[in-house]
């Protein structure tokens, strides 16, 4: 039926944002009434994780330093053994989406509250979604209880991101906002957030790439990515995320690089069928061809820019195309398997 009513729900998250916010994590754990925190950190965040550990003092029960991309269930099992051994009652995660995903997986199995301290722009901290992999298959679940109740955005944690990761992670965030603009369940709120997010990312990213240690532009980029994370949480993602999901799960690919190489191709495919999104993006970019602008940002990446360079076998593309075309997700231009394959060949 042609239902006109749309639902906009906000997740109740407490967000602390600004330089120095990381020093408030210990106080946030105390505020939750927790006494035995498990601290999950990626090696890239070992220095600030050490600071958090110091601030937690006796509230630190255990550490786990080996989160892996796409939340493999075997890694979660290792973390669960630590949780049980330490009788942890809350989980603090610092790092990219891999660390935050592991904290969600632990919380899903224990009900423990989470404090998320993101160091990339992936946006997982804003979502009630957990994707887990087992035997090359990624399964995703959605539950409001999975969203971290406390999120701490400290731009200082992003100053050391290399240029390459900065670009790909920002493109990952951009993809959330772009797909929100053509989502069937978009609302005035998600449109506003997505527009502000795309505007912020496209303005701040070049400044940050010019001067990666400039705190002010880093803070703007991080906040634009925060909005993109809300877009990801609030709207149903389309073809772009379906492609990233199936490819990433099947070939164990780096998440942000994959988003970077796909986004412009999906925009070129979808925008002719998504006039409202196209006109917003044209206004933001000041060009009639926003996909070309995004393609240029992706092409300038110093790392791999094609699926072939990530080791995806060409012979694997038809199978991916079949799965993506058959999967149930909304897209302004529902693709056939042949169209998906053409798109994949172009990205390959």
Cβ-based nearer residue to ligand NAD, 195 or 222: 222
> x/- site string to ligand NAD, residues 28 to 57, per CB under 6 A?
--------------xxx-------------
Shortest reach from residue 9's CB to ligand NAD, in Å: 16
> x/- site string to ligand NAD, residues 214 to 243, per CB under 6 A?
------------------x-----------
98 binds ligand NAD (CB under 6 A): yes
Calpha distance 99→15 (Å, rounded): 18
For the CA atoms of 5, 131, 260, 252, the dihedral, rounded to the nearest 10 degrees, stands at -150
**Does residue 14 sit in helix, strand or coil?**
strand
What does the angle CA 172 – CA 174 – CA 178 come to, to the nearest 5 degrees? Answer: 120
Cβ-based nearer residue to ligand NAD, 165 or 205: 165
Chain positions 238 to 277 lying near ligand NAD, rule: CB under 6 A, are 255-256
The residues near 337 (Cβ < 8 Å, ≥ 6 apart) are 318, 321, 322, 324, 325, 326
Residue closest to ligand NAD when measured from CB atoms? 97
290 binds ligand NAD (CB under 6 A): no
> Residues touching ligand NAD: how many (CB under 6 A)?
30
Calpha distance 168→152 (Å, rounded): 22
Cβ-based nearer residue to ligand NAD, 229 or 278: 229
Q: Which stretch binds ligand NAD (CB under 6 A): 12-20, 73-81, 152-160, 178-186?
A: 152-160
Beta bridge partners of 93: 40, 116
The residues near 13 (Cβ < 8 Å, ≥ 6 apart) are 126, 147, 148, 149, 150, 151
Cβ-based nearer residue to ligand NAD, 63 or 255: 255
Pairing of strands 90-95, 114-118: parallel
Chain positions 106 to 125 lying near ligand NAD, rule: CB under 6 A, are 119-120, 122-124
Residue 305: CB atoms within 10 Å: 17
Calpha distance 232→244 (Å, rounded): 14
Interface residue with ligand NAD among 131, 155, 238, 304 (CB under 6 A) is 131
158 binds ligand NAD (CB under 6 A): yes
DSSP 115: E
Calpha distance 113→280 (Å, rounded): 38
Residue owning tokens 């955005």: 153
Q: Which residues bind ligand NAD (CB under 6 A)?
A: 42-44, 69-70, 95-99, 101, 119-120, 122-124, 127, 129-131, 157-158, 160-161, 165, 169, 172, 232, 255-256
């Amino acid at each position: 039926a042609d239902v006109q009513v749309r639902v906009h729900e906000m997740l109740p998250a407490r967000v602390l944002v600004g330089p120095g916010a990381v020093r408030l994590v210990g106080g946030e754990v105390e505020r939750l009434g927790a006494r035995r925190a498990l601290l999950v950190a990626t090696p890239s965040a070992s220095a600030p994780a050490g600071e958090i550990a110091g601030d937690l003092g006796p509230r630190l029960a255990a550490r786990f330093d080996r989160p892996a991309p796409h939340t493999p269930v075997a890694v979660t099992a290792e973390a669960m053994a630590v949780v049980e051994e330490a009788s942890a009652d809350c989980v603090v995660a610092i790092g990219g989406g891999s660390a935050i995903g592991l904290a969600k997986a632990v919380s899903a199995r224990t009900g423990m509250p989470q404090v998320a301290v993101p160091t990339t722009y992936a946006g997982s901290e804003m979502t009630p979604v957990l994707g887990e992999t087992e035997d090359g298959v990624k399964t995703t679940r959605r539950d409001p209880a999975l969203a971290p109740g406390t999120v701490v955005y400290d731009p200082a944690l992003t100053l050391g991101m290399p240029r390459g990761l900065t670009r790909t992670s920002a493109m990952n965030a951009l993809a959330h906002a772009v797909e929100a603009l053509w989502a069937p369940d978009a609302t005035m709120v998600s449109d506003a957030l997505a527009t502000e997010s795309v505007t912020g990312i496209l303005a701040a990213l070049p400044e940050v790439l010019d001067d990666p240690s400039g705190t002010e532009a880093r803070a703007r980029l991080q906040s634009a990515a925060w909005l993109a994370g809300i877009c990801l949480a609030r709207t149903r993602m389309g073809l772009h995320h379906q492609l990233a999901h199936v490819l990433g799960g099947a070939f164990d690919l780096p998440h942000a690089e994959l988003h970077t190489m796909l986004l412009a191709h999906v925009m070129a495919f979808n925008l002719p069928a998504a006039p409202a999104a196209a006109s917003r993006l044209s206004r933001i970019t000041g060009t009639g061809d926003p996909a070309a602008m995004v393609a240029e940002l992706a092409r300038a990446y110093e790392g791999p820019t094609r699926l072939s360079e990530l080791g995806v076998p060409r012979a694997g593309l038809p199978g991916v195309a079949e799965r993506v075309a058959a999967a149930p997700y909304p897209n302004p231009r529902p693709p056939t398997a042949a169209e998906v394959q053409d798109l994949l060949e172009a990205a390959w």
